[in-house]
Amino acid sequence: MMNIIKPLNNSRRKFLKEATIAISVVAMAPNLVIPTLAQPLDIDLGEYKPSYFSANEWAFILAATDRLIPADATGPGALDTNVPVFIDKQMQGRFGNALDWYMQPPFLSAKPEMGYQSSLTPAQTYRQGIKATEDYCHQTYQKSFAELSDSEKDMVLSQLQLGEIQFSDLSSMQFFSFLLQNTKEGYFADPIHSGNKNLASWKMIGFPGARASFKEWVAYPNVEYPLGPVSIEGERG
């Protein structure tokens, strides 16, 4: 796993395990777009046609999520687990359209605990944030983000995270925050939300998923659970 500010130096598994504190929420979250049962969950990323993002935006999403969770010897990356598909689908749901958020002015500069402070929905933030980032990359490197070297991509993502790239119509830090949040969600969520393909991240960290009962294991603390994960739809890892 890559930390945008500084490398984690072989602590990828530790970081991913710590991130799973949110799995119980992400796996069942009511605001996520849930595909119909007729829609296949085992989507081939190379054949997937995004329904929200344009071709140029999709190239950015693929490249950015690949740098946020790259594949390595520890486990699969964002592209292996269909994280970009997850993000594309969320743009058209309650999250992407901020349907459950208070979105009335005034929008002020305030601490995070004061709530979201922007007139832009997450979907609009992605659209404008990708365009602004691409404009920056063309001005700075004469290339699109997807064409940059890995080190250059990491530098741009780090600058977004720290707010060092100034956008005229939105916060680069807010854009990066959505991107990182949704990348982790797509990696760890139940496959019913179109990410975590083949339960790959759950298998990597030993998360059992939606198994119906664990009562027989209450008397065995600190014993590794021997069974693989199960998804909401009954897929077994």
**pLDDT tens-digit profile of 144-161?**
999 999 999 999 999 999
Angle, alpha carbons 30-237-18 (nearest 5°): 60
| pLDDT one-digit tens code per residue, 64-119 | 999 999 999 999 999 999 999 999 999 999 988 878 877 677 777 767 766 676 77
* CA neighbours closer than 13 Å in the CB half-sphere of residue 93: 14
pLDDT at 198 over 70: yes
For residues 113-136, give the mean pLDDT: 88
- Give CA–CA dist 167/220, Å, rounded: 53
Percent of the chain that is helix, strand, coil (3-state, to 5)? 45, 0, 50
- Please report the pLDDT score of residue 25 as a whole number: 42
pLDDT tens digits for 10-60? 455 555 555 554 444 444 444 555 444 445 567 899 899 999 999 999 999
Region 215-235 average pLDDT: 87
Whether the predicted pLDDT of 1 surpasses 90? no
Which residues is 209 bridged to in the sheet?
230
For residue 129, which of 187, 185, 182 has the smallest C-alpha distance? 182
* Inter-helix orientation angle 150-162/122-141, to 10°: 130
Place of tokens 């993000």: 87
> Which ranges in the chain belong to alpha helices (H)?
12-19, 23-28, 55-68, 83-90, 122-141, 150-162, 172-188, 200-205
**What pLDDT does residue 15 have?**
53
- With b for 16 or more beta-carbon neighbours within 10 A and e for fewer, the 217-229 pattern comes to eeeeeeeeeeeeb
- Say how far apart CA 65 and CA 76 lie, in whole Å: 12
Intra-chain end-to-end CA distance of the chain, in Å: 22
Q: How far apart are CA 134 and CA 152, in angstroms?
A: 13
What predicted TM-score, i.e. pTM, was given to this entire model? 0.82
More confident residue, 62 or 106: 62
Share of the chain above pLDDT 90, in %: 56
